[in-house]
Amino acid sequence: MKINWNYLKLMLLLVLVMGLYAFSNHRSSVKAVNDIDLQFLGDENLYTTHEMVNKLLIQKYGNLKNVPKEKLVLNTIEKVIETDEMVKNAQVYLTVDGKLTSKIIQRKPIGRVEGVKKYYVDDEGRRMPFSKIHSARVPIITGNITGKSLEDIYVILEYINTDNFLRKNIIGIHVGVDGDYQLKFRMENFVVNLGGVENLKEKFNNFMAFYNKATKDKTLNHYDLVSLEYNNQVVCTKI
């Protein structure tokens, strides 16, 4: 009987590949965690700490070091980290050298509510508790704060954060009893009455035209109220 050596070589090669694949899978499944690496991405201001996140993991799993890879459920670990109220998102993976790595994105506060209840408003418009380790420098929100006004405030804050001048200079938003919004500027004595949240772009464009002219004329300190609530107008009240 004639032996088909090419066929035999192919079968041997197939067996060898399958053996190597099985061996690799076995080694991978028994690989254990030898280190934990928590990385905070983005903002340098930390509203939580490595220690706080580690504590969450220890409370849930105990010590994760030396735990075999096959016993790890990475998406569950991500959800545990995300129970930290300062964490927006976490991605967890195991590196080839056995390091359990988590890349963490924190929530970002854009406003601070100082009412009966005190909390931040984050960049998704959600309530965010104060951090014990860092205080954000964001506009302070006061006045008649309700669910609707909080939605409007988020719209205002979002717009403010698209403009470098407004972001640096607006330090407060006050909610009036009539549902209008007043802005407090860092270096100026006047208050800006924004009215409602409609036509924000037009209102702020009008304000910047007024501000630049008044700065040039050196008349900014002549006013205590600048109103933007009227259509395509800036109405100023003198001291």
* Neighbour-count burial for 156-180, b at 16+ CB within 10 Å, e otherwise: bbebbbeeeebeebbebbbbeeeeb
Section 207-218 average pLDDT: 93
Section 230-239 average pLDDT: 82
Percent of the chain whose predicted confidence (pLDDT) is above 70: 87
User: Which pLDDT does position 64 carry in this prediction?
Assistant: 83
Stated pTM of the model: 0.80
User: Which pLDDT does position 161 carry in this prediction?
Assistant: 95
Distance in angstroms (rounded) separating the CA atoms of residues 74 and 66: 15
User: Which pLDDT does position 26 carry in this prediction?
Assistant: 46
Name all domains of the chain by residue range, CATH numbers in brackets: 32-106 (3.10.20.310), 110-238 (3.40.50.11690)
User: Which pLDDT does position 237 carry in this prediction?
Assistant: 87
List Cα–Cα distances, 23 to 12, 27, 29, 124, 231, in angstroms: 16, 6, 10, 47, 74
Stronger pLDDT, 126 or 46, i.e. the higher one: 126
pLDDT at position 115 over 90: no
List Cα–Cα distances, 217 to 184, 208, 222, in angstroms: 21, 14, 11
pLDDT at position 171 over 50: yes
Predicted confidence band at 128 (pLDDT cuts at 50, 70, 90)?
Answer: very high
User: Which pLDDT does position 12 carry in this prediction?
Assistant: 67
pLDDT in tens, 82-109: 999 999 999 999 888 888 899 999 999 9
For the record, the structure tokens of 155 come out as 């719209």
pLDDT in tens, 22-54: 444 545 445 677 888 999 998 777 899 999 999
User: Which pLDDT does position 13 carry in this prediction?
Assistant: 64
- Mean pLDDT of all residues in the chain? 86
